[in-house]
Copies of this chain bind each other. A is one copy, B any other.
Amino acid sequence: MKSSELGLSALYRILKKAGAERVSDESADELRRIIEEVAENIAKSAVEMSSHAGRKTVKAEDVKLASKPYIK
């Protein structure tokens, strides 16, 4: 992603909620970079799933299927 879609403060809060006592600015930025990359990869896969199903509209079921490799 060229410009960031996700707010840095959201990632900062997620790190704090996960139990971090202190969070460096770089760590929140790194988490944002990674999460955007994961979101892009899932989104690309979801588009392929919708094409595979003969649709032009991406539906929740496409995203669910595309995200399986990322959910433990």
User: Residues of A with Cβ closer than 8 Å to B?
Assistant: 1, 5-7, 10-11, 13-15, 17-24, 26-27, 29-31, 34-44, 46-47, 50, 56-60, 62-64, 67, 70-72
Please determine whether A43 and B14 come into contact, CB atoms closer than 8 angstroms. yes
Among candidates B10, B20, B38, B43, residue contacting A17 with C-beta atoms closer than 8 Å: B43
Copies in the complex: 2
Chain B residue contacts of A31, Cβ below 8 A: 39, 42-43, 46, 63, 67
Return A10 CB to nearest CB of chain B, in Å. 4
Cα(A21)–Cα(B24), bound, Å: 38
Return A37 CB to nearest CB of chain B, in Å. 7
Chain B residue contacts of A19, Cβ below 8 A: 44, 47
